[in-house]
Amino acid sequence: MSRTQIVLVVALLLVAGLILVLVFRNPPIPFLPDDTDHFGVAGPGCLECHDPEGIYPRGQNHPIGLDCFRCHARE
């Protein structure tokens, strides 16, 4: 193998490693549970349980916003 080929292989391996790190760094966004509590819930209705004082508050790293279904969806 020539030096150029070795450099290309190493560069491709580094790019592949970077892609893997970026893909597995963040956990997937969870779907809405398929239960009676979540059946028919619409956007701002989520905050009845998931606001900071609710029974199931959003995590500290959760983005601020009211558009829950922009990220979360039914399976």
Q: Which residue has the higher pLDDT, 57 or 70?
A: 57
In residues, how long is the chain? Answer: 75
Cβ atoms 72, 29 nearer than 8 A = yes
Amino acid at 72: H
pLDDT at 33: 84
Of 34, 44, 48, 51, the C-alpha closest to 67 is: 44
pLDDT at 17: 95
pLDDT at 43: 64
pLDDT per position as a tens digit, 8-67: 999 999 999 999 998 888 777 888 888 888 887 766 778 888 888 889 998 888 888 888
Return the ∠ at Cα 27 (arms to 69 and 63), rounded to 5°: 45
pLDDT at 16: 97
46 CB burial (10 A radius; 0-12, 13-18, 19+): buried
